[in-house]
């Protein structure tokens, strides 16, 4: 890849950010018409305007961003997202390029997924990641974890008493695994998320988790490993793609959520932070709890602004890969090193160069906006 070709990608990335400038101006002019007047929301709109001009976030704006979400019970982020969708066009996806073997028309899968995401906040698809991709990704993730954590990985798999409750895959390594991009760039999934958010999604935050079946020893462990109910809030609007890389039944730590809480929940449960099962039960919402199970290769999507948690495995360990689709990179600040292509010109780090090569390839396959975070 020549410097000139990288320059074109970087210019495309910056243009993708500037597409949000019209949305930021719309919000600045009409915010009191869209939302009940609020100092926090106004400051959030100012911060969004700064992001749309510069592509940069800051911690003060991010704190107001999170505060506005709780104060408005999610309406602030939904309004900002709807205005953004009004100003950014959709794209067409070529379903013939799907990696999934399905007899269902892709358009029907997209419609079904849209219905479930809108009404329930999640969609467990009937799609299965092809076994060779599952095996390859599983092998790479476990090898990376072993390189970073040594014998702790075997202990977590065996569930020994001294095992870590959870091991998280290192972000830098995960950005070099093509399987993460192969799955998340699939046109069926992209089209489904685009219909839900109203604009083409951005690839963000690949993660992997290995959860051990050892006994939980404290409430602090539950909180530290996201095994208490909470909502995610790094970006304005997002859908997380989950892929099970082991068989997951009710005793293997299924992803757990409370249906519909991406839009509706009792007031106190909009507060930032963790919420116990007891608090959710007292609020009368645990009847809508859903446990998502399935064999390895299972694919599901969740709007994790809904209340959700990981259930601790009781019998078998759980390995899971995750990618966040987002409508904007406005929100939580991130390091300039995230821009893999830009950063690759300043370093000889092989991991950065491998991630940059994948960002180039998938900017070509799925669009510059899809790879905006890594250009």
**96 contact partners, CB below 8 Å, separation of at least 6:** none
Average pLDDT taken over every residue of the chain:
95
Tell me how far apart the alpha carbons of residues 173 and 342 are, in angstroms, rounded to a whole number.
18
Q: What is the pLDDT of residue 226?
A: 64
**278 contact partners, CB below 8 Å, separation of at least 6:** none
Q: Which helix (H) or strand (E) holds 281?
A: helix 277-282
Q: How confident is the model over 329-338, as pLDDT tens digits?
A: 999 999 988 9
Tell me how far apart the alpha carbons of residues 180 and 325 are, in angstroms, rounded to a whole number.
12
Q: How confident is the model over 82-101, as pLDDT tens digits?
A: 999 999 999 999 999 999 99
Is pLDDT at 217 greater than 80 in this prediction?
Answer: no
Beta-strand runs (E) in the chain: 122-128, 166-168, 202-211, 238-244, 255-258, 289-292, 298-302, 308-310, 318-326
Q: How confident is the model over 322-362, as pLDDT tens digits?
A: 999 999 999 999 998 899 999 999 999 999 999 999 999 99
Q: What is the pLDDT of residue 149?
A: 98
Q: Which residue has the tokens 């269902």?
A: 104
- Say which residue, 143 or 1, is predicted with more confidence: 143
Q: What is the pLDDT of residue 311?
A: 84
Q: How confident is the model over 7-49, as pLDDT tens digits?
A: 999 999 999 999 999 999 999 999 999 999 999 999 999 999 9
């Amino acid at each position: 890849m020549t410097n000139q070709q990288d320059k074109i990608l970087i210019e495309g990335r910056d243009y993708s950010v500037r597409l949000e400038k019209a949305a930021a101006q719309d919000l600045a002019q009409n915010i009191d018409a869209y939302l009940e007047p609020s100092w926090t929301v106004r400051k959030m709109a100012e911060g969004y305007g700064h992001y749309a001009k510069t592509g940069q976030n800051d911690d003060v704006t991010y704190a107001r961003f999170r505060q506005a979400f709780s104060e408005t019970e999610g309406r602030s982020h939904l309004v900002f997202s709807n205005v953004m969708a009004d100003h950014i066009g959709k794209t067409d996806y070529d379903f013939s390029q799907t990696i999934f073997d399905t007899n269902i028309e892709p358009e029907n899968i997209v419609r079904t997924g849209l219905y479930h995401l809108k009404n329930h906040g999640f969609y467990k698809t009937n799609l299965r990641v092809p076994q060779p991709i599952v095996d390859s990704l599983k092998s790479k993730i476990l090898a990376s974890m072993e390189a970073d954590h040594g014998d702790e990985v075997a202990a977590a798999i065996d569930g020994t008493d001294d095992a870590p409750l959870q091991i998280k895959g290192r972000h830098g390594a995960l950005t070099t695994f093509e399987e993460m991009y192969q799955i998340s760039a699939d046109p069926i999934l992209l089209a489904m998320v685009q219909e839900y958010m109203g604009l083409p999604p951005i690839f963000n935050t690949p993660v992997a988790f290995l959860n051990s079946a050892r006994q939980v020893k404290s409430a602090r462990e539950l909180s530290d490993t996201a095994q208490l109910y909470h909502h995610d809030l790094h970006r304005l609007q997002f859908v997380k793609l989950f892929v099970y890389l082991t068989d997951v039944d009710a005793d293997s730590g299924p992803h757990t959520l409370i249906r519909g809480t991406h839009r509706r929940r009792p007031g106190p449960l909009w507060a930032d932070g963790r919420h116990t099962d007891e608090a959710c039960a007292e609020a009368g919402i645990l009847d809508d709890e859903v446990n998502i199970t399935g064999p390895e290769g299972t694919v599901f999507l969740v709007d994790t602004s809904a209340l959700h948690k990981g259930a601790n495995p009781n019998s078998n360990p759980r390995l899971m890969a995750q990618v966040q689709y987002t409508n904007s990179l406005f929100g939580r600040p991130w390091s300039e090193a995230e821009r893999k292509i830009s950063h690759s010109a300043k370093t000889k780090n092989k991991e950065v160069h491998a991630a940059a090569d994948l960002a180039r390839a998938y900017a070509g396959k799925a669009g510059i906006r899809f790879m905006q975070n890594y250009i």
